[in-house]
Structure 1
Amino acid sequence: MIIDDIVRHYRAHGYALAAGLLQADEVARLRAVTDAVSAAAAGQSEETPVFDFETDTEGRSTIQRIKKPHRVDPFYDAMARHPRILQVLEALIGPHIRLSHSKINMKAARGGTALEWHQDWAFAPHTHMGTCVVSVMIDEARPENGAMQVLAGSHEGALLEHHDEDGYFIGAIAPGDPGADLSKAVSLTGPAGTIAFHHPLTIHGSGVNLSGDPRRILFLEYAAADAYPLFYAVDWTDYQSRMVQGDGASHVRIEPNRVKLPFPSRAGSSIYKIQAGLKARHFAVAG
């Protein structure tokens, strides 16, 4: 798929899938590095600076998330700076690009926590909406193993409510919210190495893994350099170190958008912990 096609689909639908941006050897290396990093968690079950864990349906501890992988292994940092990914991002958010965050979400076979429908803008508001999330499929993604789903066209709608009746941030859209048209759900499927791009207002989520195969995705979250984050205090040295292309000057662009901060929260900043307290869900619970 050529860049113009990716951008056209993204603008129209709030997401785009791209095959062939990575070479076969890069995909193989991505899988091998992830296997090696995961092996370092053997025997562990308590949260560490690198790993979050969950318990599968057979009572075994499995990795739920690798946190900030761009700091864990140089290969992930190189992936965040991949020229073909940046080429797409430049067409979407401009030439000056900062990596906001990275993570690897992992759904173990026959389990893996569902992530309820949500919008990233609810978690990560900036001074303007020049942000984009890139999802790199480490394994083949299928509906059966919990492929991410998006609601096509939802990026053209409003920021929906992600707080409960007591005013606490719960990180999910309530079932039945009229702003979430589930009939427009599209599964983002493809072989390992497939890459998806989605808009910060695109509603998305994923179900449990019903298959015997893992589903691992490297998420790379980007912002235009002049989109200043409104949800965390900036350490300037670290902030500048995450520039992946262009100039990280200190000027900021401000545009009118609806912003509701992801506070107060009962469970920190992890979406898994925040959504663990939900009273109502769209997706089934593993088990």
Structure 2
Amino acid sequence: MITQAIPTTVPQRTATTRLSAAELAAFRAKGYHVVRGLFDPNHMERLAVETEGLHARMAAHAPEEVDVSWEEGLPDGRPPRIRQLMHSERVSPIIDTMSRSDEILDILEQLIGPDIYLFHSKLMMKAAHDGTFTPWHQDWGYWQYGNIQPSQVNCMLAIDAADEENGSIRFVDGSHLQGPVDHARFASSSFSIGLEGGLDAFPSTLLEFAPGDAVFFGPLVIHGSGPNASARDRRANTFAFDRCGNQKNGELPERMHRRGAR
């Protein structure tokens, strides 16, 4: 059951302004925080065009350094479309530039400190009429294998408007405070692990977004999303950041470094 919904009508804030003390406290309490208008419409229009073009580009040739999952057999008859593209910054100059922007990094510095690297960037495209349910999960269920401590922070940037009808993200407020939880392994799912149960398994908050809005959230807050029952695609890019020195695999590549000391 959904306890509340946070709509897109929240008053706009200046993107370059750092989080206030109250906003930081809310992030610590809930495990996430929404920033409206992080990037302006001009940026988002350019990103929408670029990401739409990735379907044809990746179908023709996907570089080895990216990992592409495809959605096939779409009910509207369109050719296969990208469902998920890992390391999206390597094929999208706009996404790469955003991952280095003050708009994102100034807030990240408040949340994880001055020394920041990009753990990964992931483009997610939930096609219209896509019946896929993203199970409840903590990102730490996946990330613990590459990192020492659960100190990462995600910035999920909405490229399209998102609401309940087209499968927007939901959070279980404060669930990060219980620490890591055991995840089940799924035999057939785009997610290999997750928590058992459907959308009504936890009381949750549904978030709504306009293009350019973003949500920052940590690796232990439980989240998931429903299917896209609408005729509208839903695209978002998730930038996952961590503090330098928390990676298990030794020296940090320069291309992943974003701010401060390595």
TM-score greater than 0.5 by the shorter chain:
yes
Q: Does 1:137 align with 2:154?
A: no
The structure whose residues are more often strand, as a share, is: 2
Distance 1:157 1:25, change over 3 A: same
Supply the distance in 2 between the matched residues of 1:57 and 1:106 (Cα, whole angstroms).
13
Supply the distance in 1 between the matched residues of 2:206 and 2:39 (Cα, whole angstroms).
21
Q: Does 1:171 align with 2:193?
A: yes
Contact 1:130 / 1:224 at 8 angstroms: preserved in 2? yes
CA shift at 1:31, angstroms?
1.0
Aligned to 1:120: 139
Contact 1:6 / 1:17 at 8 angstroms: preserved in 2? no
Q: Does 1:111 align with 2:130?
A: yes
Aligned length: 236
Q: 1:189 aligns with which of 182, 198, 208?
A: 208
Supply the distance in 2 between the matched residues of 1:75 and 1:103 (Cα, whole angstroms).
13
Distance 1:207 1:48, change over 3 A: farther
CA shift at 1:50, angstroms?
5.0
Q: Does 1:242 align with 2:256?
A: yes
Q: 1:198 aligns with which of 217, 238, 242?
A: 217
Q: Does 1:26 align with 2:43?
A: yes
RMSD of aligned Cα (Å): 2.7
One-letter amino acid of the counterpart of residue 172, structure 1: G
Supply the distance in 2 between the matched residues of 1:164 and 1:31 (Cα, whole angstroms).
34
The aligned runs of 1:57-136 (5 Å cut-off) are 57-58=74-75, 61-111=80-130, 113-125=132-144, 126-136=147-157
Match of 1:202, SS state, is coil
Q: Does 1:15 align with 2:36?
A: no
Match of 1:144, SS state, is coil
Distance 1:48 1:54, change over 3 A: farther
Supply the distance in 2 between the matched residues of 1:137 and 1:171 (Cα, whole angstroms).
24
Q: Does 1:37 align with 2:28?
A: no
Aligned to 2:72: 55
Supply the distance in 2 between the matched residues of 1:239 and 1:100 (Cα, whole angstroms).
11
Distance 1:132 1:15, change over 3 A: same
Q: Which moved more, 1:21-30 or 1:88-97?
A: 21-30
One-letter amino acid of the counterpart of residue 254, structure 2: Q
Contact 2:141 / 2:193 at 8 angstroms: preserved in 1? yes
Supply the distance in 2 between the matched residues of 1:242 and 1:41 (Cα, whole angstroms).
22
Q: TM-score scaled to structure 1, two decimals?
A: 0.75
CA shift at 1:52, angstroms?
1.5
Supply the distance in 2 between the matched residues of 1:247 and 1:48 (Cα, whole angstroms).
25
Contact 1:50 / 1:72 at 8 angstroms: preserved in 2? no
CA shift at 1:42, angstroms?
5.7
CA shift at 1:48, angstroms?
9.8
Gaps of 5+ in 2: 1-12
Distance 1:48 1:124, change over 3 A: closer
Supply the distance in 2 between the matched residues of 1:140 and 1:164 (Cα, whole angstroms).
31
Contact 2:86 / 2:120 at 8 angstroms: preserved in 1? no
Distance 1:148 1:95, change over 3 A: same
Deviation per CA, 1:59-88: give whole Å up to 9, x if none. Answer: 752221122111002211111111011111
Aligned to 2:171: 150
Supply the distance in 2 between the matched residues of 1:213 and 1:186 (Cα, whole angstroms).
22
One-letter amino acid of the counterpart of residue 246, structure 1: G
Identity, in percent, stands at 31
Q: 1:220 aligns with which of 202, 222, 239?
A: 239
Match of 1:22, SS state, is coil
Q: Which moved more, 1:66-75 or 1:200-209?
A: 66-75
Match of 2:23, SS state, is helix
Supply the distance in 2 between the matched residues of 1:199 and 1:127 (Cα, whole angstroms).
15
Gaps of 5+ in 1: 249-287
CA shift at 1:199, angstroms?
1.0
Supply the distance in 1 between the matched residues of 2:99 and 2:131 (Cα, whole angstroms).
25
Contact 1:64 / 1:112 at 8 angstroms: preserved in 2? no
